[in-house]
Chain A
Amino acid sequence: MNEASPKAIMYEIMQVQEELDRVVARLSKDGSGVFADVSLKKPRFEPAELGFILTVSWLCVMYFEAGKVDVLFLNRKLEVYGIAQDGSCEQHYELVRQLRTYHQHNLDLTENRNRQIQETCENWLRSQCGSPIPGNEEQWGKCLISILTDARAFLNSLRDCVRQIEKDDSRDAIVEEWDCLRKRFHPPHEFDKLIEVVAADIGRDKLDIVRFRKKYYSDWVKELELLDGTYDFKQEGRRLIEHAFMESLTPSLPITGKDIMKEFGLGPGRLIGDLLEKAKAAFEKNGGTAQELLELLRAELEREVDQAPVTT
């Protein structure tokens, strides 16, 4: 049983966090540490239930927002240096994410993944306080101490990892890899600035930038992650933003896939998608009514049949 109070453990966490930031700032080319500033207030610990939920939220922000790239990078390196080989760090990292989902979202338990989250979280709670649904101050207190203790161990491991990189023969190559990863990470505010510029350039200065970014952000991040290391964020980011602007301007087609199936007696399949694409291209170019588009598709289909190889 750990007898330390939540406050004492939190103090230690802050100390390790500070050490991590200092060491990493010396290693990296741009001089930045692991954790960016966090606007979320440090959690208060009483009552314990609130303390637990706030702590999970705070840790989540630290790991997945303020320290996103670096925490992920270091976490992956733990195994390389033989640190926390029992998988405890990986488990803690995932658990924090799942606990936040579990406590702050309405889970649809018909979904397999949600059931798994529920099971993981409740198993952990049960192992800490004897019940999957803590009900009193003592039970919540045990859970709070445990999550903080795990967080301290996790950050200690990250710190040990950074110290190992410091001593590594291939330190420069590893730091270069790390920097490359950092360069490829674009937090929401970077996009916000770019959106502002693009919106002004194309005369959309009334745009709700945050709402627009939220709609496309995850897709943009995914796109950029897959590019080679030479890409220019300002150029590729602008391309993505402009594409999203154009897409938002496209009116919906007057016909649907169902209309096409019905009109031509076709079953579902790739052909329906291809015809819809053709209809979209034509509609964007010339507009037209549903009937006109269907006629156009009919002509297209007839042309394809005529061009098909002769099979005598």
Chain B
Amino acid sequence: MNAQSSKITTESKDFYQQLVRGPAFLLLGQSYLELQGNSNQFLNEVVRKYTSETAPESCTYNDILNTTASKQPGAALAWMQQRSERFTTPQWLNTVGSFAWNGIYSSTIDDIWIRAFKNDWRDIHMLFDEKYKPLDPRNRHRLHCTFLFGGIGGPDAGEQPPLTKMEWLKRKQVAVGLMRRLPELISPLGVLAIEGYVPGKDWLSAEDLAPIIDDLADGQAHLFSMSDEIAQDPYIIALRDSGKLVLHYESLASCLQRGDDAGFLRLGVRAEEERSESIQLEGEVVLLPKEVKNQVSRSAIIIDDLAIQSPKALSDEALYVEFRAFLAESSSKPNWSGYSRGFAFQRPFEITLHAAMESRLRGKASADKPIILHGQTGTGKTVCLGAVAFKIRKQGVFPVLFIERRSKKPVFSDIELFCKWIEDQGATCTLVVWDGMLDVGQYDELLQYLRSRGRRVVVVGSSYRVDCPEEERGCFIEASAKLTTDEVSSLKHFLKKFDASLESLVDREIARWGDNFLVAMYRSLPYTRRAIRSGLEREVGFTVRKIEDKSKTIRRRAMATTMSHALWKAGLIVDKPALDISASDIDEEVSHANQIIRFVMVPSQFGLKVPLELLLRALGQGYFENFHHLFQDVDLVQWDEDNLGNIFIRSRNPWEARRIVEANLGGYRDEINCISKLVEEIKDDSSSLDSPEIQFAVDLLRSVGPNSAVAESYKVYLVEIADTLLHLRHERGISNPRLMLQEATILRDIVRIERYSQTYGLSNEDCEKLLCRAEDVLSDALDVVSRSRNDKMTSMILVELGATKASKALGSMSEAIDGRDLFSQYKQSRDCLFRARGLDPNNFYSIDALCWIAREILKSNTLDGIEKLEIEADVLHAFEMAEAEDFELLPKERLNRRRMELGAAMGNLDLSDDAFEELKKLGSAAGFYIRASELAGTIPVDSELSDSDRARCASSVSYLENAREYIVKDPRCLYLMLRLWWLSKTGKPIFYGSRQTTPFSKDDWQFVFSLLSELLSFADVHQSSSLKYLYGLAQFHLGDAIGSFETYRELSRESEFLQGMRRIARRYLASDSNGIAIKYDGIVQWAAQDTNKGEIFISKIQRRVAYDKRDFLSELRKGQTVSSVHIAFSFLGPIVDPALRSKSHKGEQR
């Protein structure tokens, strides 16, 4: 091996290109230690120890089989592990380890090599057995290192290396099984580098390795440190001759080092570019811990100091190409260096957005609504969001997270982790920019989640054009589609920066650009500056033709095997193009090239990226070789790798995708065929509900579903979509609750559309069948989800189930159904909806659905007055609970509309004395509930009560008290009594303001306690966290501190999904019967070093109570005495509250 070869070969250049593109896998053979010092010190020591002989010159791992080591395998492996630690990692391996690999496979059993891959940005995960299949097998930040033959550090027998010949034979099967994963992981895009592998000596035989390499495309596998001995192996020769394996005589380390020196790749930098790990905050630099970085990166881009650094210098030509790439790419994902270079053309709404963000970030109060940038596709929303995020971060004052549009929803706890960490470092507020193009509710959900954990954030989201509610107009900023005259003038000036001739291009082309000017402008710009003058223009059709042309030059997969290649060379078979124009799974007239375009462009028009594996399965030809060549030189189709190593294929931008779909597909029917084909190929091998493929399928279905912006175009195909999902469950056995929920929703929507517009020609019986099918699907989904205890998902399924049952009930009304049957069906639906709300108090859809069914039933004459009164009581109760507990978060406008609709439907209802007696006779307390509500009249829900309000409440309570024997089994009445009693006693709604005190005597608390005990004994909605909060408060004031703390401990776990400030707000203080906050003394027992947490022992209650360091002016030390503090209660539990803070609060009573 020479120290230097002056020229980098074409093979090496190709290798670098493959490495950088990824996925990049390394196979490390058992001879790797010999590359450093010509002998394997570790193996020699093991052989010396267990064979009582000096290790022979060229011993192999076979020499450790059937030795004395197998007599006491536990002790032997422990000894080997200790030896393994004694030896230093070879220097060359450190160079290899400094590359950001997607995964390592090794036939060796020691773990000396593992150390070379450990670094400060990458976690190592060792995999010893087939049983475990990681969810993120290509994650560069969590590097999976697979020990093909087990490892000496393997915890169980099946994960340890073989020590006898028989064990070795068995393990060989496992090793092959593990190796079989490689082709799928590498995909047609990636590369396999092999180092330290000598066929005759390695436990992984060339016979076993050859078929794996043969399944890859030409030139995807590279064998390094070739020697004359290796070159004699017949399998290696065959693989080399077929073009499958590229042989390199130099070592992998030298090759990588040379690539690094020559600028083809970067060693020693973290996976996604040279990521910086620092964030500047008000002049201070804080370093991002690896754990925070890696976890948060799953869900969002942390805009760190590297992103805002000055970009590298470029020539004018390269600058122009970068600008063009920016125009094409930045509508999909942020290109920070482009912002830094001033590539983003500023539109007027950017100024408005920037000002709104600044004002909120610098404001004292925490914003309770997200800012939404909305507008049609192609108006520059993504560019604008990126630009503003960049500018705010550049100031170095506020930390910024950017969530790009992706198939996987961000994990909220990841975002919270970052916000909390950066707040602990001194940040006053974090900007979270989520360019999700989602329903506004999703941004609100994130904001409330973060606020509920005490985070100070400003959330900015993007959405298609929406009609914003009047009272929230300030939160919505519209991205206008039209360029004003001033903007056109600015645009000319802007383009001149890149080439003087571009000014005239604006005049020439602007009429054709229309509303999607950014994307259209990109299409108008020639590839190079030189071509600007020659006026060249690219067309979409050009790209498709180019792919087709290329496809004809690529060999089919059948030709890709070593055997077929040999036959081809011998002239026994004839070469054929890979993508046969005449054959296609979808449509005989559609070429395979067009098929790829379709499978990518149909989802891409909705801004979705297709998971690579799914695309390849949908194409139906397995991994045909040279896949990536199809896209070389064709920039219409792009691929991305996310932080977990998942690869996605997408169009450059949705606008182009739409144009291509329109030009290439015959209409919506063809699109639905594509969608069905993709959905049918979904795999669900993950334990989580939202694997990338499932998320993609759900997004795709939503994009064409009844609630999408393009619902009208696709509605006639809903039956087919539902059948595809049925097929997926029955034929493929994929029972994913999220897909099942989609299926049921679509089925219910078909019935809804049919009843409204007779689109599908279905009979009532057909509709009934569809709804029964939906019910079955949902019941199955509940079974599946019950295994994972996902309350949020269960709640969503229950709402859909309630709505489906309601739909059935409403359908039966047209068939002269008996009133009792209808009422029974209504009750089933109501129970589902109440249960849903109990599980997820933020799910307002349950109230929506209840209002809808109530309204429809009340409008009909099927039910008698008594039953209608029951329904009225139910609905009033649902509103009452929502308003009493969640007023801040209520979608007020929507619920008010529902209330008005219901009012109209209930208008003729009258609770006569006869009706009241009839209800009472039937054992229903609905009459008492309605009468008590009427007595109380309209009570304010968001302000203090007047004396007359309080008097009415008291009289209503007295009425209910007198009827206690009738209402004791009715949670509606009990809840009403509790609420009205509280209002009359305190003059304020429950959970009104913060740090409230309660002027309750022991008897009062006993009364509250008994009412709550009764309420909590009911299931469903009455198991709410709000009632549990009050229960814990009552326990505390009744002297049961232990019980109270236990209640709050349980509550803090259950209230995980509570949104807004409600979760952390300190609503009540421990107080005496006069309503005066009780003062406590205590001693600091514990103060955390890294966080703001601590505990104070309060002697009066003999309990440790949590405190937050930030509440106190000076730092509390362990053992320090604190006096005259209060105890406050939030949904997270009791917390020490400095008296000063409580006094200053206007809500405190004295």
Interface residues of A (CB under 8 A from B): 73, 76-77, 79-80, 110, 112, 115-116, 119, 168, 170, 173-174, 176-177, 180-181, 184, 219-220, 222-231, 236-237, 239-240, 243, 246, 257-258, 261-262, 265-268, 270, 277, 309, 311-312
Give 17 A-B contacts (CB < 8 Å), ordered by A residue: A73-B88, A112-B309, A116-B287, A170-B86, A176-B37, A177-B88, A222-B257, A223-B3, A224-B3, A226-B253, A228-B35, A229-B37, A231-B1, A236-B2, A239-B4, A246-B6, A311-B553
A265 shortest CB reach to chain B, Å: 4
**A residues near B37, Cβ cutoff 8 Å:** 176-177, 180, 229
**B residues near A112, Cβ cutoff 8 Å:** 276-278, 305-306, 309
**A residues near B45, Cβ cutoff 8 Å:** 170, 173
| Most A Cβ at <10 Å: residue of B6, B91, B310 | B91
A168 adjacent to B86 (CB under 8 Å): yes
Interface pairs A-B: 4 shortest CB-CB: A311-B549, A229-B37, A265-B530, A236-B3
B528 adjacent to A261 (CB under 8 Å): yes
Q: Is the interface of A mostly helix, strand, loop or mixed?
A: helix
Known: A170-B45, A237-B3. 19 other contacts (CB 8 A): A80-B86, A110-B309, A112-B309, A168-B86, A177-B37, A223-B254, A226-B95, A226-B251, A227-B3, A228-B34, A229-B35, A240-B4, A243-B4, A243-B6, A258-B315, A261-B315, A267-B317, A270-B17, A311-B550
B552 adjacent to A311 (CB under 8 Å): yes
**A residues near B528, Cβ cutoff 8 Å:** 261, 265-267
**B residues near A116, Cβ cutoff 8 Å:** 278, 287
Residue from A227, A258, A262 in contact with B1 in the complex, judged by beta carbons closer than 8 Å? A227
Residue from B34, B87, B91, B553 in contact with A174 in the complex, judged by beta carbons closer than 8 Å? B87
Is B933 an interface residue when CB atoms closer than 8 A count as contact?
Answer: no
> Bound state CA distance, A225 and B256, in angstroms?
13
B44 adjacent to A173 (CB under 8 Å): yes
B87 adjacent to A177 (CB under 8 Å): yes
Is B321 an interface residue when CB atoms closer than 8 A count as contact?
Answer: yes
Q: Which of B548-567 contact A (CB under 8 A)?
A: 549-550, 552-553
A118 shortest CB reach to chain B, Å: 9
**A residues near B1124, Cβ cutoff 8 Å:** none
B531 adjacent to A265 (CB under 8 Å): yes
Is B36 an interface residue when CB atoms closer than 8 A count as contact?
Answer: yes
Residue from A228, A266, A268 in contact with B36 in the complex, judged by beta carbons closer than 8 Å? A228
**B residues near A311, Cβ cutoff 8 Å:** 549-550, 552-553
A261 adjacent to B317 (CB under 8 Å): yes
Is B13 an interface residue when CB atoms closer than 8 A count as contact?
Answer: yes
> Bound state CA distance, A223 and B552, in angstroms?
43
CB-CB under 8 A for A239 and B91, given A116-B278, A180-B36, A228-B36: no
> Bound state CA distance, A288 and B48, in angstroms?
65
B986 shortest CB reach to chain A, Å: 53
CB-CB under 8 A for A239 and B553, given A180-B37, A267-B317: no
Residue from A181, A219, A222, A225 in contact with B88 in the complex, judged by beta carbons closer than 8 Å? A181
> Bound state CA distance, A258 and B317, in angstroms?
8
A224 shortest CB reach to chain B, Å: 6
B1065 shortest CB reach to chain A, Å: 38
Is B318 an interface residue when CB atoms closer than 8 A count as contact?
Answer: yes
A226 adjacent to B92 (CB under 8 Å): yes
CB-CB under 8 A for A226 and B530, given A119-B285, A170-B86, A239-B3: no
Is B760 an interface residue when CB atoms closer than 8 A count as contact?
Answer: no
Is B959 an interface residue when CB atoms closer than 8 A count as contact?
Answer: no
| Most B Cβ at <10 Å: residue of A79, A173, A231 | A173
Residue from A110, A231, A267, A277 in contact with B321 in the complex, judged by beta carbons closer than 8 Å? A267
Is B1102 an interface residue when CB atoms closer than 8 A count as contact?
Answer: no
A76 adjacent to B305 (CB under 8 Å): no
> Bound state CA distance, A225 and B90, in angstroms?
9
A231 adjacent to B305 (CB under 8 Å): no
Is B83 an interface residue when CB atoms closer than 8 A count as contact?
Answer: yes
Chain B, Cβ-Cβ closest to A178: B88
> Bound state CA distance, A246 and B257, in angstroms?
21
> Bound state CA distance, A96 and B915, in angstroms?
91
Is B38 an interface residue when CB atoms closer than 8 A count as contact?
Answer: yes
Chain A, Cβ-Cβ closest to B44: A173
Chain A, Cβ-Cβ closest to B325: A267
Residue from B257, B315, B530 in contact with A268 in the complex, judged by beta carbons closer than 8 Å? B315
A176 shortest CB reach to chain B, Å: 7
**A residues near B41, Cβ cutoff 8 Å:** 173, 176-177
**B residues near A173, Cβ cutoff 8 Å:** 41, 44-45, 86-87
Chain A, Cβ-Cβ closest to B276: A112
A294 shortest CB reach to chain B, Å: 14
> Bound state CA distance, A77 and B285, in angstroms?
34
Chain B, Cβ-Cβ closest to A112: B276
| Most A Cβ at <10 Å: residue of B86, B95, B306, B553 | B86
B251 shortest CB reach to chain A, Å: 6
Is B1045 an interface residue when CB atoms closer than 8 A count as contact?
Answer: no
**A residues near B1, Cβ cutoff 8 Å:** 227-228, 231
A225 adjacent to B92 (CB under 8 Å): yes
> Bound state CA distance, A230 and B91, in angstroms?
15
Chain B, Cβ-Cβ closest to A242: B4
Is B527 an interface residue when CB atoms closer than 8 A count as contact?
Answer: yes
Is B85 an interface residue when CB atoms closer than 8 A count as contact?
Answer: yes
A127 shortest CB reach to chain B, Å: 15
> Bound state CA distance, A229 and B91, in angstroms?
11
> Bound state CA distance, A261 and B34, in angstroms?
46
Q: Which of B300-347 contact A (CB under 8 A)?
A: 305-306, 309-310, 315, 317-318, 321
> Bound state CA distance, A223 and B86, in angstroms?
26
**A residues near B531, Cβ cutoff 8 Å:** 265
A263 shortest CB reach to chain B, Å: 9
B331 shortest CB reach to chain A, Å: 21
> Bound state CA distance, A224 and B45, in angstroms?
27
A240 adjacent to B3 (CB under 8 Å): yes
| Most B Cβ at <10 Å: residue of A77, A112, A230, A311 | A112
B4 adjacent to A223 (CB under 8 Å): yes
> Bound state CA distance, A97 and B381, in angstroms?
48
A285 shortest CB reach to chain B, Å: 14
A225 adjacent to B86 (CB under 8 Å): no
> Bound state CA distance, A114 and B317, in angstroms?
32
A230 adjacent to B38 (CB under 8 Å): yes
Chain A, Cβ-Cβ closest to B42: A173
B13 adjacent to A270 (CB under 8 Å): yes
> Bound state CA distance, A79 and B87, in angstroms?
11
**A residues near B83, Cβ cutoff 8 Å:** 170
Flag B1065-1100 by CB within 8 Å of A: 1 or 0 each. 000000000000000000000000000000000000
**B residues near A119, Cβ cutoff 8 Å:** 285, 287
A229 adjacent to B3 (CB under 8 Å): no
Chain B, Cβ-Cβ closest to A256: B315
> Bound state CA distance, A262 and B528, in angstroms?
9
A136 shortest CB reach to chain B, Å: 26
CB-CB under 8 A for A115 and B315, given A226-B254, A230-B38, A268-B321: no
Chain B, Cβ-Cβ closest to A261: B317
A115 adjacent to B285 (CB under 8 Å): yes
B86 adjacent to A229 (CB under 8 Å): no
**A residues near B317, Cβ cutoff 8 Å:** 258, 261-262, 267-268
**A residues near B95, Cβ cutoff 8 Å:** 225-226
> Bound state CA distance, A220 and B321, in angstroms?
36
> Bound state CA distance, A220 and B261, in angstroms?
12
A58 shortest CB reach to chain B, Å: 27
A267 adjacent to B527 (CB under 8 Å): yes
**B residues near A266, Cβ cutoff 8 Å:** 528
B276 shortest CB reach to chain A, Å: 5
**A residues near B253, Cβ cutoff 8 Å:** 226
Residue from A115, A227, A239 in contact with B278 in the complex, judged by beta carbons closer than 8 Å? A115
> Bound state CA distance, A312 and B545, in angstroms?
10
A281 shortest CB reach to chain B, Å: 9
> Bound state CA distance, A168 and B41, in angstroms?
15
Chain A, Cβ-Cβ closest to B534: A265
B944 shortest CB reach to chain A, Å: 53
A277 shortest CB reach to chain B, Å: 8
